[in-house]
């Protein structure tokens, strides 16, 4: 039986494209929220789940970080990074000059702001719940309109692509992660993700933690502090490091860190993504 | 002549409430984006500008961080933190039982998801460009609907409040900052914000930077890494610390840091916000 791979849907999103790239033979299960993907994996309804974790323009995906921080049964098993290219989709035969409204999720509208202002200065800009919901609005609307959405949504919904790569920055990349109940065995080129917090905020505690890694030559590829939901002044620290949690030096460092912090949660180890590599 | 204080509008937003709390006698200038507020301050059209920088549920406000990183003429002059309370607004006389659609910005809809699901399981949930735009949609829509928006938007638009505090978490706080072309003189209880990046990502560089602060007993209240817009793997680090940039130890530490990093940008020093304090 094929593995069930849940993902943040609906079909046609960039996350679906990442899921297909990761495992084209899996049985894909689109779900409507990142938390639903987490629940599907935790409960065994899906073996794995694909969610976005970080975008080069927008920063971290908060729901995914919250899920990892709070759902102790979930691990990271894989990561992959993909370029995000927004397209302008219309009903087949629509002419650009006739477009009176542009629909999309506010984030995509923001990323394509100067394209819209230059090409459609008089169009109404209308928010949708997702890029795919925007396509559905355009399909069913009585007026002549366009949606900003991924290329794949055009194929799935029988829409025509009028323009490609309309986002501001050519370097719009999203990092996706695969959630599972087990992380990945060592491959020799791995990353490990974790989070921790402190019972009090004495000067230098974070510095001591980072010393455990620095003194062993372990490179940190990401350090992020995130306000706890309890209050603005207290933080949870999220760290990505190079190496596998079973590497002797990483193991030593994590042991040391565990003694300094009040909550250490290991999200797991997984192969480090190399953009040039053909995976799977 | 009254000081002109630009803010992220439109009127009725939480940012307007923060602007009034900060300086009730200023001439308020609502602008439609965080970048517009930055441009107004940089060009002298406004003396100061109020923007959100961090929310306890959603994390950092990316546009504000981008503005600070890229606009060298802008400084931080003040901070304040305010609780965010979402309300359910309707046209006067509307009964809850008749509501068929709920409008708001996707972020506010997300923060009130369980309230909507429990109280309005059959209502259509519709995205708007902002909470205030949602109120305008409800005012002008032919159907019977409600908007999720701040209390102040109800007063400004003559709407009725059916429910208050409908967000998931009771600890929904937003930190706002005042942008100016000069930061704040020392008060004895200050914070300083800065960012830096590294030319290469050798292990331990960030650790060495943090050592400059830790060894002088300077507490870091926030450390955040943010992908640069150039690529996912490279980061800009944002740091908040306790103390004023004119304090001798802070000055020493910043000198040391300046020699280690490839780009050091000081956003400025400003009085530390204390929730219990009555400011201004």
What the block records as the tokens of A211 is 């010393």
Predicted local distance difference test score (pLDDT) of residue A218: 93
Of B126, B222, B235, the CB nearest to A225: B222
Contacts of B242 in chain A (CB under 8 A): 203
pLDDT digits (tens, 9 = 90+) for A78-95: 999 998 899 999 999 999
Task: Identify the closest residue of chain B to A202 by CA–CA distance.
Answer: B219
Residue pair A63/B113 in contact by the 8 Å Cβ criterion: no
Residue of A67, A203, A209, A276 for testing the chain B interface, max B β-carbons within 10 Å:
A203
The mean predicted confidence, pLDDT, of chain A is 90
Percentage of residues in chain A having pLDDT higher than 70: 95
- pLDDT score of B261: 92
Chain B residue with Cα closest to A242: B203
CATH code assigned to A87-164: 3.40.190.10
Alpha-carbon distance of A268 to A88, in angstroms, equals 38
What would the two tokens of residue A73 be? 């049964």
Residue B71 makes CB contacts below 8 A (sequence gap 6+) with: B38, B42
pLDDT digits (tens, 9 = 90+) for B15-36: 999 999 999 999 999 998 899 9
CATH 3.30.70.260 location in chain A: 184-280
* Phi/psi of residue A269, nearest 5 degrees: -115, 150
A1-83+172-182 carries CATH number 3.40.190.10: yes
User: Residue B99 pLDDT more than 60?
Assistant: yes
Going by their DSSP bridges, the two strands A48-55 and A4-8 should be labelled as parallel
Average pLDDT, chain B: 90
What is the band of A278 on the pLDDT scale with cuts at 50, 70, 90?
very low
Tokens of residue B273, six digits:
């916000």
Contact A89, A161 (CB under 8 A): yes
* Whole-number Å distance between alpha carbons of B265 and B70: 9
Closest by CA to B273, choosing from B54, B2, B102, is: B54
- What CATH superfamily classification does B184-280 receive? ACT domain (3.30.70.260)
Is residue B175 scored above 50 in pLDDT? Answer: yes
Report whether A50 contacts A22 (CB < 8 A): yes
Residues of chain B with CATH 3.40.190.10: 1-83+172-182, 87-164
Local confidence band at B231 (pLDDT 50, 70, 90 cut-offs)? low
Give the per-residue pLDDT at B276.
42
Nearest-neighbour CA in chain A from B46: distance (Å): 24
State the Cα–Cα distance between residues B94 and A92, nearest whole angstrom.
41
Q: Phi first, then psi: what are they for A165, rounded to 5°?
A: 60, 45
- The yes-or-no answer on residue A181 being catalytic is no
B197: phi then psi, degrees, rounded to nearest 5: -140, 170
B174 catalytic per annotation: yes
Residues of B in contact with A218 (CB under 8 A): 203
What is the Cα–Cα distance from B257 to B244, expressed in whole angstroms? 16
Of B63, B161, B60, nearest to A225 by C-alpha is B60
Instruction: Select the more confidently predicted residue: B176 or B110.
Output: B176
Q: Is residue A277 pLDDT above 70, yes or no?
A: no
Record: contact A127-B127, CB cut-off 8 A: yes
Query: What counts of helices (H) and strands (E) characterise chain A?
Result: 9, 15
Lowest mean pLDDT, pick from A53-62, A107-116, B179-188, B212-221: A53-62
Q: Are A265 and A221 in contact (CB under 8 A)?
A: no
């Amino acid at each position: 039986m094929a593995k069930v791979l849940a993902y943040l849907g609906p079909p046609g999103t960039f996350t679906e494209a990442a899921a297909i790239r990761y495992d084209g033979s899996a049985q894909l299960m689109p779900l409507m929220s990142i938390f639903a993907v987490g629940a599907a994996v935790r409960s065994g309804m899906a073996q794995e789940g694909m969610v976005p974790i970080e975008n080069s323009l927008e920063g971290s995906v908060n729901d995914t970080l919250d899920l990892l921080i709070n759902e102790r049964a979930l691990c990271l098993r894989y990561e992959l990074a993909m370029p995000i290219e927004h397209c302008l989709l219309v009903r087949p035969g629509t002419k650009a000059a006739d477009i009176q409204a542009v629909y999309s999720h506010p984030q995509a509208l923001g990323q394509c702001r100067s394209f819209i202002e230059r090409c459609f200065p008089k169009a109404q800009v209308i928010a949708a719940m997702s890029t795919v919901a925007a396509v559905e609005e355009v399909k069913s609307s009585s007026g002549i309109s366009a949606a900003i959405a991924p290329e794949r949504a055009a194929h799935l919904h029988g829409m025509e692509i009028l323009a490609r790569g309309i986002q501001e920055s050519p370097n719009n990349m999203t990092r996706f992660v695969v959630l599972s109940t087990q992380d990945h065995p060592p491959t020799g080129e791995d990353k490990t993700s974790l989070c921790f917090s402190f019972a009090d905020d004495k000067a230098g505690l974070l510095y001591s933690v980072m010393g455990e890694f620095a003194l062993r030559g372990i490179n940190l590829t990401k350090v992020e502090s995130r306000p706890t939901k309890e209050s603005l002044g207290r933080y949870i620290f999220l760290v990505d490091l190079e190496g596998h949690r079973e590497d002797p030096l990483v193991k030593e460092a994590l042991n040391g860190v565990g003694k300094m912090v009040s909550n250490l949660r290991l999200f797991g180890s997984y192969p480090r993504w190399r953009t040039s590599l053909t995976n799977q």
